[in-house]
Each structure stands twice: as structure tokens, then as C-alpha cells.
């Protein structure tokens, strides 16, 4: 009996020790793999270590969110010397975001693409872009017939331009495909990704019928002076290699009442953004007075992105 | 005759059969009745479930964006939408027309005109320099109105009061309210602009509605957007 009891205690002690050793070792190895000097800053290491054990964004309470935000802000300060402001503003009451794109007005200047890259801190090395503009001949209907990589004087005679990005479907197939529930539809209609919960399996990319999602093939590289410092946890904060990201209707801007970066940058006014639940909004005027259509409507994804013609 | 008797015979047999069945039923014991009713109960429950599921889908919130926004008809307080970070931009004027939600604002343009006030040069005194228009306004090229009906300076600019514009009906128009000027010919665009399908808002989608004026984007002397190189390019997908 005595020997048995002794045996149990030692086994428990051993297990506890083994688990803690494994956790520390694992963290050490993963941090080491990222190619950083471990002893560079013990505070940065401690913060990064704590970051491994945080919850899914939707399961965190207010305090936990605050903690992880302060950790991320401190990490950014420590590692890159940039003071960023990450917020976790929730959805506004009685708001459902909608978007309309005027195919007659768009002239293909690509100002929106440049503004989006800048606002959302997209990787400059792989030239990642959330928005694609397709140059299409008159009579073409689907962007897969168009030319998505044009570079010449625009607008070209006999052509029109069609922008494609994440359509923020109300019935999003990407959300259903995600095995870790790292992506979901927020109450204001924005489909977001928890970057720390994404495992990079790219199922959502395969599920999306609009090519709305992008994969980080490498650690995003952004010139230090070009980083947008107003950030959102679910939006344009720093991402890592090997996870999905996408257009978030500039969640850091739209939830503060501002227009998205693409709408603000558009020189022709081809882009309309607003609240679908406000009967006086521009988007509602477009939907009620213009000829509108949605891309691949027959799939039942119910996108909140309409195209319209003058 | 034969056929009739045949039918009669059938009737008789049918009557006999039902008679026999009735006899049988009256002879049934209680548990046997329950056994017969089971399938009826079951089918009732399944039917009920079907109806319930139909109703629940019909009255649920998951019914598509179109229905969702069509149900939202309650007016929203525009100014009340403003949260801490949304401020109404400065240098704006109230538009004389009203949109679907009441009054709205547009950018003031007078401060953007480089050599305003025009009357500082165009006053009572005669301009005595030869080719003065070419000297002082050589940068202005009027490409407006097409080849058949090209516009001249005085189509829009008032000859009496140089700081104002003038309509076809000799109404003076302040350059801040230039949309009234453009709307004379481009009435479709003006209608869309008032509603929100033409032009764009400034910075905020919420709060007081402030939109860009016509001349914020279009050069009134050559309103067509110029052909130019795109700002960036996309890498091929494949």
C-alpha cells in the first residue's frame, strides 16, 4: 500500500513536470523557428509566450481582450518600435453594411487598390491585394472573362471595369468550411477572421466562389513608415505567415462611422457604402432606384455587394 | 341485362365484405385498437414537425439580405448616428434641394477657386490690355458641350455680376451651389447625386450627410475624366 501511494505521487509529479517542460520547450522551439533572438528581450519573449495561450476572440471577455490588445501593442513597440492603436470596437446597433459598385462609372484607375493595400497593411513583397479590377469588353458579364492584370492608359475604348473583393455574404460558404471556427459573420454583416485562430488550411479559400480570400505565403513585409497605426483586432493588425486574410470593409474605419478606404479613394464615385437598415442611406437609394445585380446570385450565398449601372 | 346483374352481384359481395369487416371490428379488444392507431399518431407528429419547420423558416431572421433591408423602414436620426469620432467636416454649405432623408450638405467651392473674387479684376474699369483673356486665363481649355454646341465663358459665368454664375433663365447662382448650374443639362446626374448614386460622401458614411460637390471631382471647363495610367497593377493569378 505504502509503495503504491509513493508511486502515484511520483507519477503525478512527473507528469506535471513533463507537461510544463513540453509547453515551455514547444514555445521555445516555435519562437526559435521564427528566426528571432530569444534573449533579445525577455519582456517580448514573455509577451509572445502569453499570446500562445489566449482564447478565441469570441470567447474572450472584455478584460481578456484588453489584455491581449495591450500585449500586441507592447510587442509592436518592442519589436518594430511602432506605436500602434489596436481597438476591439464591437458592431454598431441597427447597422448592416452594404456595398454597391457602379460599373458604368469605374474607369479602372486602381486608386482603390492602392488605398486598400496601404490602409490594411498588406504584404508588399508578394503584392497582395484584396481588390481586383477586371477590364471587360462591352457585353461580357462575368469577371473570369475579363482581364485582371491590365496595365495601360485607362479608360480604354469599348471596355468597362468591374471590381471584385470579398462580398461579405449573408450566407457565407467560407464560414461553413472553416474547421476551427476562425472565421464568422459579425452581427453587422462583416465576415471576419481571427488571425490567431486560423490554421492556414485554406478550406475557406476553396469554398469561396468569388476569390475573396487571400493566403499569406510569407511574413508580410511593410515599410515601417507606411504602416497604418489605427488598427482593429479583426482588421488590419499585424498578421503572420500561413494564415488567411481578406477584405473586412475596413472594420477599423467603418465601425467608427467612416467610409472604407476604397470608397474614400475612388476618384469617380463608383463605390457606394452605407447602412442597409437606414432607409435614407445612399446604398438604399441605389438598391431601390437603380438596376442592380449580384455576382453568382444563384449560388444562394446572398452577398451584400451589388453592381449597378447608370 | 347481363351487365346490370353483374354489377348487382358485385354490390352484394361488397356489402357482404363490409358486413363481415364490421363484425370483426366490433369483436376487437382494446390493445388491438391502440395498435391500429399508432401509425396515425406517428404520421400526425411527423406532419406537425413539418409544419413547424416550415413556419420557423418562414418567420426566422435567416431570410436573405433583400428581405432584411426591405423590412427596415424606420427613419434614423442622422445627427444622432454620429459617434465620438465622427465630426461634420468644415467648410460646407446646406444644399437647397432635399434628399430622401431631408436636408444634406455639400462642400463649399468658393475657397477652392484660385483667383476668387473675380470682381477684383473684372470691375467697372475696362480691361485695356490686348489679349488679356489669353494672358490671365490661358490655362483654361473649354472642352464642354460637344462639337455641335460648344460652351463659351458666358454660358455659365455672369457678365453683370462677375462673382456669380448665371443660368439660362438669368438666375444668379453662387459658386458654392454649382450643382444647380450643372443640373440644368445634367438633370439625371443631379437626381442621382441628390439620392446618392452619383458622387460620393466625404469621409463618413454615418452622421450628417455631407457629399462632394460637382466641381470637387469634375473640372467644369473639361468635365470628362482624363485618360491616364492606373495607380498600380495586379499580379497574375495563375
B-chain residues within 8 Å CB-CB of A161?
A: none
Number of independent structural domains in chain B: 1
Residue linked to cell 469617380:
A268
- Which segments of chain A are extended strands (E)? 85-87, 97-102, 132-137, 159-164, 183-185, 191-193, 213-215, 230-232, 244-246, 271-275, 291-293, 305-309
The confidence band for B6, taking pLDDT boundaries of 50, 70 and 90, is very low
| B 26-65: CB under 8 A from A | 62, 64-65
Residue B4 reports pLDDT greater than 50: no
What's the domain range around B85? 79-122+141-217
Which ipTM score applies to this complex? 0.80
Burial class (CB in 10 A: 0-12, 13-18, 19+), A278: buried
The confidence band for A19, taking pLDDT boundaries of 50, 70 and 90, is low
A227 near A121, Cβ under 8 Å?
yes
Mean pLDDT of A293-301: 91
- Which segments of chain B are extended strands (E)? 92-94, 105-107, 165-166, 172-173, 210-211
Task: Identify which of B65, B82, B199 has the shortest CB distance to residue A257.
Answer: B82
pLDDT digits (tens, 9 = 90+) for A242-260: 999 999 999 999 998 899 9
Max Cα distance, chain B (Å): 127
Integer Cα distance of A18 and A27 in angstroms: 14
Residue B202 reports pLDDT greater than 80: yes
B125 near B132, Cβ under 8 Å?
no
Residues pairing with A85 in the sheet = A230
- Which candidate in B97, B194, B197, B214 is best for mutational testing of the A interface (most A CBs within 10 A)? B197
**Mean pLDDT taken over chain B:** 79
In a domain, B70, yes or no: no
Query: Closest by alpha carbon to A113, among A125, A129, A96, A101?
Result: A129
**Residue contact A148–B69, C-beta within 8 A:** no
Residue B1 reports pLDDT greater than 70: no
Residue A108 reports pLDDT greater than 70: yes
- Which candidate in B73, B77, B210, B232 is best for mutational testing of the A interface (most A CBs within 10 A)? B232
- Which candidate in A279, A290, A291 is best for mutational testing of the B interface (most B CBs within 10 A)? A279
Integer Cα distance of A275 and B205 in angstroms: 8
pLDDT digits (tens, 9 = 90+) for B26-42: 555 566 667 778 888 88
The values of phi and psi at residue B228, to 5°, are -155, 175
Q: Which residue has the higher pLDDT, B3 or A223?
A: A223
Integer Cα distance of A47 and A194 in angstroms: 19
Task: Identify which of B73, B203, B237 has the shortest CB distance to residue A259.
Answer: B203
Residue B2 reports pLDDT greater than 80: no
The values of phi and psi at residue B126, to 5°, are -75, 140
Mean pLDDT of A12-36: 61
pLDDT digits (tens, 9 = 90+) for B162-198: 888 988 888 889 989 999 999 999 999 999 999 999 9
A157 near A173, Cβ under 8 Å?
no
Question: Quick check: B69 contacting A, CB < 8 Å?
Answer: yes
CATH class assigned to A87-310: alpha beta
Distance from CA of A301 to the nearest CA of B (A): 9
A-chain residues within 8 Å CB-CB of B83?
A: 92, 256-257
- Backbone region of residue B131 per phi and psi (left: phi > 0; alpha: psi in -120 to 50; beta: other values): left
In a domain, B235, yes or no: no
Residue B85 reports pLDDT greater than 70: no
A214 near A128, Cβ under 8 Å?
yes
Q: What is the pLDDT of residue B154?
A: 85
The values of phi and psi at residue A161, to 5°, are -120, 140
3-state percent breakdown (helix, strand, coil) of chain A, nearest 5? 35, 15, 45
In a domain, B39, yes or no: no
In a domain, B190, yes or no: yes
In a domain, B203, yes or no: yes
The boundaries of every CATH 3.30.70.20 domain in chain A are 87-310
- Backbone region of residue B234 per phi and psi (left: phi > 0; alpha: psi in -120 to 50; beta: other values): beta
The pTM of this model reads 0.78
Question: Quick check: B70 contacting A, CB < 8 Å?
Answer: no
In a domain, B2, yes or no: no
| Closest residue of chain B to A152, computed from CA coordinates | B229
Residue A31 reports pLDDT greater than 80: no
pLDDT digits (tens, 9 = 90+) for A200-230: 999 999 999 998 999 999 999 999 999 999 9
Q: What is the pLDDT of residue B59?
A: 58
3-state secondary structure A153-193: CECCCCEEEEEECCCCCCCCHHHHHCCCCCEEECCCCCEEE
Residue A34 reports pLDDT greater than 70: no
Lowest model confidence (mean pLDDT) among A87-91, A177-181, A237-241, B23-27: B23-27
Size of interface A-B (CB pairs under 8 A): 161
Query: Closest by alpha carbon to A247, among A113, A133, A96, A59?
Result: A113
Q: Which residue has the higher pLDDT, A87 or B123?
A: A87
A301 near A167, Cβ under 8 Å?
yes
Provide the 3-class DSSP secondary structure of residue A222. Answer: coil
A-chain residues within 8 Å CB-CB of B190?
A: none
Highest mean predicted confidence (pLDDT) among A20-24, A280-284, B78-82, B97-101: A280-284
Amino acid at each position: 500500500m505504502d509503495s503504491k501511494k509513493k508511486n502515484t505521487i511520483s507519477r503525478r509529479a512527473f507528469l506535471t513536470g513533463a507537461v510544463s517542460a513540453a509547453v515551455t520547450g514547444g514555445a521555445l522551439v516555435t519562437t526559435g523557428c521564427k528566426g528571432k533572438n530569444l534573449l533579445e528581450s525577455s519582456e517580448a519573449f514573455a509577451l509572445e509566450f502569453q499570446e500562445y495561450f489566449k482564447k478565441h476572440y469570441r470567447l474572450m471577455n472584455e478584460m481578456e481582450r484588453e489584455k491581449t490588445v495591450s500585449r500586441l501593442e507592447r510587442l509592436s513597440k518592442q519589436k518594430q518600435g511602432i506605436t500602434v492603436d489596436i481597438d476591439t470596437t464591437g458592431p454598431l446597433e441597427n447597422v448592416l453594411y452594404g456595398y454597391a459598385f457602379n460599373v458604368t462609372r469605374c474607369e479602372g484607375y486602381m486608386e482603390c487598390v492602392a488605398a486598400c493595400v496601404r490602409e490594411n497593411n498588406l504584404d508588399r513583397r508578394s503584392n497582395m491585394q484584396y481588390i481586383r479590377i477586371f477590364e471587360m469588353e462591352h457585353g461580357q458579364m462575368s469577371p473570369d472573362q475579363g482581364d485582371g492584370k491590365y496595365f495601360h492608359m485607362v479608360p480604354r475604348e469599348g471596355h468597362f471595369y468591374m471590381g471584385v473583393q470579398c462580398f461579405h455574404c449573408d450566407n457565407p460558404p467560407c464560414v461553413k468550411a472553416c474547421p476551427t471556427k476562425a472565421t464568422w459573420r459579425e452581427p453587422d454583416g462583416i465576415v471576419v477572421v481571427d488571425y490567431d485562430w486560423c490554421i492556414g488550411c485554406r478550406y475557406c479559400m476553396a469554398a469561396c466562389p468569388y476569390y475573396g480570400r487571400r493566403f499569406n505565403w510569407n511574413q508580410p513585409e511593410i515599410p515601417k513608415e507606411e504602416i497604418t497605426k489605427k488598427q482593429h483586432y479583426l482588421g488590419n493588425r499585424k498578421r503572420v505567415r500561413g494564415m488567411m486574410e481578406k477584405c473586412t470593409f475596413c472594420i477599423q474605419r467603418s465601425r467608427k462611422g467612416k467610409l472604407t478606404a476604397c470608397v474614400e479613394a475612388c476618384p469617380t464615385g463608383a463605390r457606394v457604402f452605407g447602412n442597409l437598415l437606414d432607409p435614407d442611406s445612399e446604398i438604399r437609394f441605389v438598391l431601390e432606384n437603380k438596376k442592380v445585380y449580384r455576382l453568382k446570385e444563384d449560388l444562394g450565398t446572398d452577398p451584400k455587394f451589388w453592381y449597378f449601372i447608370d | 341485362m347481363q351487365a346490370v346483374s353483374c354489377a348487382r352481384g358485385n354490390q352484394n359481395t361488397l356489402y357482404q365484405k363490409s358486413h363481415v369487416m364490421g363484425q370483426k371490428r366490433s369483436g376487437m379488444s382494446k390493445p388491438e385498437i391502440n395498435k391500429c392507431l399508432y401509425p396515425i399518431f406517428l404520421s400526425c407528429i411527423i406532419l406537425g414537425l413539418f409544419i413547424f419547420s416550415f413556419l420557423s423558416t418562414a418567420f426566422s431572421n435567416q431570410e436573405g439580405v433583400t428581405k432584411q433591408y426591405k423590412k427596415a423602414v424606420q427613419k434614423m436620426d442622422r445627427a444622432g448616428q454620429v459617434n465620438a469620432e465622427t465630426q461634420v467636416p468644415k467648410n460646407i454649405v446646406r444644399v437647397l434641394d432635399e434628399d430622401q432623408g431631408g436636408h444634406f450638405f455639400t462642400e463649399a467651392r468658393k475657397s477652392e477657386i484660385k483667383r476668387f473674387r473675380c470682381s477684383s479684376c473684372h470691375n467697372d474699369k475696362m480691361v485695356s490690355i490686348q489679349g488679356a483673356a489669353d494672358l490671365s486665363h490661358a490655362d483654361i481649355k473649354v472642352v464642354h458641350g460637344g462639337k455641335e454646341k460648344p460652351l463659351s465663358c458666358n454660358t455659365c459665368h455672369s457678365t453683370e455680376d462677375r462673382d456669380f454664375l448665371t443660368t439660362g433663365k438669368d438666375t444668379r447662382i453662387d459658386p458654392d451651389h454649382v450643382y444647380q448650374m450643372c443640373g440644368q443639362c445634367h438633370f439625371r446626374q443631379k437626381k442621382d447625386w441628390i439620392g446618392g448614386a452619383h458622387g460620393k460622401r466625404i469621409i463618413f458614411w454615418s452622421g450628417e450627410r455631407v457629399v462632394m460637390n460637382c466641381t470637387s471631382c469634375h473640372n467644369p471647363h473639361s468635365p470628362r475624366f482624363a485618360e491616364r495610367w492606373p495607380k498600380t497593377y495586379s499580379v497574375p493569378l495563375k
